[in-house]
Amino acid sequence: MNAKIASAGVRAFLILLTGLAVNLGGSLAWAAPPGSAWGVNYFPNVELVTQDGKKVRFYDDLIKDKVFAINFIYTRCTDSCPLETAALRKVQKALGDRMGKDVVFYSISIDGDRDKPDELKDYAERFNVGPGWTFLTGRPEDVTLLRQKLGMYRSDGQAEKALNEHGISILMGNEQAGQWIKRSPFEETKALVRVLGTRLQTKSTATLTGNHEADRVPAQSSGEALFRSNCEVCHSIGKEDGLGPGLQGVTKMRDRAWLTRWIKTPDKVLADKDPIAVDLYNRYKKILMPNLRLSDSEVEELIIYMDASSKEVKG
Ligand code: HEC
pLDDT recorded at residue 315: 44
Instruction: Please check whether residue 93 is in contact with residue 130, taking contact to mean a CB–CB distance below 8 angstroms.
Output: yes
Query: Measured from the CA of 306, which atom of ligand 1 is nearest?
Result: 35
pLDDT tens track for 54-75 = 999 999 999 999 999 999 999 9
Q: How far is the CA of 123 from the centre of ligand 1 (A)?
A: 17
CA distance 200 to 186: 20
Share of the chain above pLDDT 90, in %: 70
- Residue 239 Cα to chain centre, angstroms: 23
C-alpha distances out from residue 284 to 16, 34, 71, 258, 272, Å:
39, 48, 23, 19, 18
pLDDT at 311: 78
Residue 227 Cα: closest atom of ligand 1 = 37
Residues with CB under 6 Å of ligand 1 are 82-83, 86, 230-231, 233-235, 243-245, 247, 250, 254, 259, 262-263, 266, 280-281, 284, 287-290, 292, 302
Give mean pLDDT, residues 234-261: 95
In angstroms, what is the span from residue 50 Cα to ligand 1's centroid? 29
Which of the four pLDDT bands, split at 50, 70 and 90, describes residue 2? very low
CA distance 99 to 80: 24
Residue 17 reports pLDDT greater than 60: no
Greatest C-alpha distance within the chain:
63
Residue 84 exposed, middle or buried by CB count within 10 Å (0-12, 13-18, 19+): buried
Q: How confident is the model at residue 4 (pLDDT cuts 50, 70, 90)?
A: very low
Q: What's the 313 CA to ligand 1 centre distance in angstroms?
A: 19
Separation in Å, CA 162 to CA 27, 46, 144, 158, 223: 23, 21, 10, 6, 31
Cβ-Cβ contacts under 8 Å for 92 (sequence gap 6 or more): 99, 105, 129, 130, 132, 133
Q: Give 105-152 pLDDT, tens digit per residue.
A: 999 999 999 999 999 999 999 999 999 999 999 999 999 999 999 988
189-213 CB burial, b ≥16 within 10 A, e <16: bbbbbbbbbbbbbeeeeeebbbbee
Residue 108 burial (10 A CB sphere; 0-12, 13-18, 19+): buried
**Which residues lie closer than 8 Å to 269 by C-beta, 6 or more apart?**
261, 262, 277
Residue 82 pLDDT exceeds 80: yes
- Mean pLDDT computed over 18-42: 49
Ligand 1 centroid vs 187 CA: distance in angstroms?
Answer: 18
What is the C-alpha to C-alpha distance for residues 88 and 73, in angstroms, rounded to an integer?
12
Taking residues 201-226, report their average pLDDT: 74
Spacing, Cα 231 to ligand 1 middle (Å): 7
Cα separations (Å) of 279 from 77, 124, 177, 269?
20, 21, 48, 12
